[in-house]
Structure 1
Amino acid sequence: MSLYEILGVERTASQQEIKKAYYKLALRLHPDKNPGDEEAKEKFQQLQKVIFILGDEEKRAVYDETGYAGDDALVGEAAENLQEFFRTMYRRVTEADIEEFEANYRGSDSEKKDLKDLYEKFKGNMNRLFCSMLCSDPKLDSHRYKDIIDEAIAEGELKTSRTYQKWAKKVSESEPPTNPLVRRQKTKKQEGMDLNWNPQKKSFRRPDKGLKVSRAKTGSVSVWTKILDRRTEA
C-alpha cells in the first residue's frame, strides 16, 4: 500500500493533483469541523504525514526511489484502513462545504493557529508551509501571513529563522494584494484540471485522459482551484 493509494491518486499525479486530494480530505477532517472527535483528529494527523512527504517534491522523489514512509501508521493493515477511511470521506465533500469552510476559515483565529503551528513545524520554511496550509495562496496570502508571523515573533511566541527572514525580505519588496480575503474564482482553464473519482482504481483521474501535467511545471497555484471539484460528489 503506497502513500499514493492512501491519498487516492495515481503515482504519476502532478503536485497540483496531490494537493487537491489532500485539501478535499483536510476540509472534512479539520479539527474545526470535528470538535471533540478523536478519530477525526487522528486521521487528520495521519493525513498531514502523507502530505508532508508527497506535498514536497524533494521528499516525494526520495519516497519514490526508496518506498520508505518512515511511519508504521502508513504501512500494512494500518495503511489499508486509512485508505478506506479516506475513500468514504471523498464522497462527502461538496462544493458548498468547501465554500463555507473557506469563508469561515480565512482570517479566523483558527487559521492563525494553524499558520503558527506550521511555521514551527517547518522552521520558517514558507514554501513548505504553503504546501500544507489550508485555503492558502502565496500570491494572496504572503503579506498577510508575514504580518501575523512578524507579530508573533515580536511578542516572543515564535522564533525567527534565516529561511524565514529571506522569504520575508522578498515579500516586503513585492506589492501587496488589494483584497487578500476576497473569495477567489476558478478560470475555465483551471476547471479543466478537476479530478473525477475512479471507484475501480480507488483514485482520482482527470476528465481529459490525454492531458499531461509536468510536476516541474505546475508551480504554485491557488489552493481554491486545488480543492474545488464539482464532479467528485457521490
Structure 2
Amino acid sequence: MGLLELCREAFGASDLYQVLGVRSEATPEEIRRGYHKVSLRVHPDRAAPAKKEEATRHFQILGKVYAVLSDQEQRALYDEQGVVDEESTVLTQDRNWEEYWRLLFKKITVKDIEDFEKKYKDSAEELADIKASYVDFKGDMDKIMESVLCVDYSDEPRIRQIIQHAIDSGELPSYKAFVKETKQKMNTRKRRAQQEAKEAEKSREELGLGEGEDDLKALIQSRNENRKKEMDDFLAQMEAKYVNKSRKGGKKGMK
C-alpha cells in the first residue's frame, strides 16, 4: 500500500498537507511545526497498551509524510503531480522513525517551560504575540488568553493593559468584544481558569510529579482529551518558538 493510501486509511485524508494540518504553501518551518504538533498526539508513548501498535503505525506514517514534504525534490514532485515516489530513498531507506523524531525535536521538561516563561514574559516577543492574538481574534479575551503562551488568569490585567495602551496609541483597532466585554464574561473566564489550575495541581499531587520529561508526559496523560490537546499544542508552540531558534544560533538552547 502506498503512502497516500496509508494516510487515507490512518487519518482519513490522502493529502499530505492536510494530514499535517498545514497549507500547501506552508514554509519548511510550518511543515516541521505541523509534523511535531500532530505527532505529539499519536506518539506511541502516549497510547494505551491496547492502542500502542496502531499508534506506532500512525507515527511511522507521519514520519514518512514529513520526510517527503521536507525533501525539496520529493515535495516538488508531489506538488506538481500529486504522487509520491515510493521508490525514493526518502521512503525506502531503513529508518527508525522514533530516533528520527528525537533528532528533530528536543525533549521538553517542566523546568524548560519554567525557564522559557521567565524569558518570555514582558519580552518584545510576548508583546508581539499579544497584539497578533488581539487582531486574530477580534478582541475576544477568551481566545486571546488561551492562545498567548505562559499566561494564566492572574496575567489578565497586564494583558488588558498592554492591549488598551496599543488601542489608545492607535496601533491596534478598537474591537467591541474587547472594550465592551461584560463583567459576567470576565468572571466566567476567571472561574474556569481557577478551576483548571486546581485540577492541574491536584493531578500533580496525586501522581507525585517532579520536573522530568516523563513526569510532564504523565501529567498530560492524566488530563481529559481536550486538555491534553491544549498541552500538546502548547508544547508544539514551545518547540517552534524556542528550540528552533537555538538551532539557528540566534539564542542559546535550553539547558
Going by fraction, where is helix more abundant, 1 or 2?
Answer: 2
Which is higher, the Rg of structure 1 or of structure 2? 2
Kindly indicate whether structure 1 or structure 2 has the higher relative contact order, using CA contacts under 8 Å at least 6 residues apart. Answer: 1
Q: TM-score normalized by structure 2?
A: 0.41
**How does the TM-score come out when normalised to structure 1?**
0.44
